[in-house]
Structure 1
């Protein structure tokens, strides 16, 4: 494991040697409790804090990178990485892992993950459609 000073020295050496240009990518999305289980986000639904999401990306050089993220207070997760342009992400798969909300833990949609090509320029993010969880029983007002 590198210390901050070593990482800074390596980054500075790459910059001074004219090595490949740095590239930064970001993947973000939301996790929502689909209260009525209607597979859409509506006014009765709420975001899920602390939900776990896994993101797997393949780079130009063929490496597979595995990331783990948790949603914040707004139900948003983010994964970001800075790397040489020659190693940037080519395609990724984002998938929900679990919801720790006591009333909303069942997967609300049939998809186990969302696969996508990552072709955003450096410094831009890719937004994944929301992952949905639903309660074990639907409230009466949803009928």
Structure 2
């Protein structure tokens, strides 16, 4: 005689929601719907212009940001699980034929409420104040920078 014991397994999966987006083309409809545009940034027919691109305009100290509208949570506070991500992007830094140009751009992760402010000129790539680039309490971000100008504190 065979006896079967019914077992009921409860599998509790943590609530996980993935974040996926693909912006292979960006148009003006994406402004503040898919992409938050702040500071001097804007969307043109060519893509996102992080700073103005006008020869007849004073461009010193211009900064802009383009960020995805939905937050990416790097870890689950309850479980301690870390997130992972992959990104691919392409960009052009166009000097418009000028020999001297600055300052570059950065791909960054920053707190949700971080913003571009007027004191974050080009030398800090819109992330750090030029005179406070080493102050970790003011500059909570992780970035990969594409720096086109040798500021005094840059490694040589």
TM-score relative to the length of structure 2: 0.26
Whose radius of gyration is greater, 1 or 2? Answer: 2
Larger strand percent: 1
Larger helix percent: 1
TM-score relative to the length of structure 1: 0.27
